[in-house]
Amino acid sequence: MKGKILGKDRSWKLHYAALNHAAIQGEEIASIFEFVKPPVDPFAIMDAERELICYDGDDFGDCFDGRIRFVGPRFLICFNTRFNAWPHKGQNHTKILFAIAHELGHFFLPKHRDYLVRSRQSHGSFSEFTSDPLVEQQADFFASGLLMPKYLLGPEVNSSNFVTLDRFHRVRNSFEVSLTGLLVRWTQLSDFPCATIAIKNGKIQFGWTSAALRTRGAFRIRRGDSVSCRAAKDFLEADPSLTRYREGSGSGSIRNWIDFDDYRLQTEEHYFAIPHSGTVWILVVADENDFQDSEFED
């Protein structure tokens, strides 16, 4: 689709509808392959589809995270094993699992597969929410839906309003996903008022809000603003170099993060310093009962 065919607002909505659709298709694949508990293992999917997929893992330096190519009659998926040199828990680093899930997106999403068969070009990818074009984002959303399907992760996310760091890490380990991948998905699947915010150089870079916030008009992340939350500032200032992984917790107000004047919602927050990307990720959670109280006052 080229050129401007829809108004700005509608083309933005269409873009997000396409991404959400890709995530749902990822969830459907997890369900079709009968994953009834985490983790969803992308190797098991490739093995089950061995008539159509062959795969090869090697240290490809920094050429790509993953790659898929139609070599007729099968598709060849290559993945970069260099991440296994980084500390990790399971057999493979979560970056490798995500990269394979991303390439499976190109395999399972019909338009992506058509393109691969027609062009016979390899499709190289740097995955995990860093790529811009719609196809790459669709494959990322597919991967996120596949590895963290709502039917498996939703009950974990929504078992209580607030999550401790301990429980968050337990969920992460059982799904074998990256911290940032889980943080994004958490907010997508939460029934509670929460947001995932990324901070770079002391400023709010981007973020996502849960449906419970969006439907109340709280969706404009204060992008570009300096961090104003006291607890978050303390966390940042404790080691501004971000050269090692750190985590911490604090409390504050939703208005530090989101343009939202209607309520003074108090928040519980978890901070994660991610050295690889030089960012601090924050999970901000408000109490849904505060919303109800505020509504009664109106």
What are the residues binding Zn ion (CB under 5 A)? 125, 136, 139
Closest distance to Zn ion from the beta carbon of 237 (Å): 38
Q: Are 111 and 143 in contact (CB under 8 A)?
A: no
Position with the least CB separation from Zn ion: 125
Of 139 and 198, nearer to Zn ion (C-beta) is: 139
Of 139 and 148, nearer to Zn ion (C-beta) is: 139
Of 103 and 269, nearer to Zn ion (C-beta) is: 103
Tokens of residue 33, six digits: 């392959």
Closest distance to Zn ion from the beta carbon of 272 (Å): 26
Of 135 and 195, nearer to Zn ion (C-beta) is: 135
Closest distance to Zn ion from the beta carbon of 208 (Å): 21
Which ranges in the chain belong to alpha helices (H)? Answer: 8-32, 42-48, 94-108, 110-119, 134-147, 150-157, 165-175, 179-189, 211-214, 230-238, 288-297
Distance separating alpha carbons of residues 100 and 187, to the nearest angstrom: 23
Of 95 and 270, nearer to Zn ion (C-beta) is: 95
Closest distance to Zn ion from the beta carbon of 139 (Å): 5
What are the CA-CA distances from residue 243 to residues 128, 236, 275 (Å)?
A: 20, 12, 5
Q: Are 22 and 127 in contact (CB under 8 A)?
A: no
Of 45 and 221, nearer to Zn ion (C-beta) is: 45
Of 106 and 255, nearer to Zn ion (C-beta) is: 106
Length of the chain: 298
Place of tokens 């409390």: 251
Residue 184 has a CB neighbour count (10 Å cut-off) of 21
Tokens of residue 262, six digits: 């209607």
Closest distance to Zn ion from the beta carbon of 142 (Å): 10
Closest distance to Zn ion from the beta carbon of 145 (Å): 15
Distance separating alpha carbons of residues 272 and 101, to the nearest angstrom: 24
Distance separating alpha carbons of residues 296 and 284, to the nearest angstrom: 24
Closest distance to Zn ion from the beta carbon of 168 (Å): 28
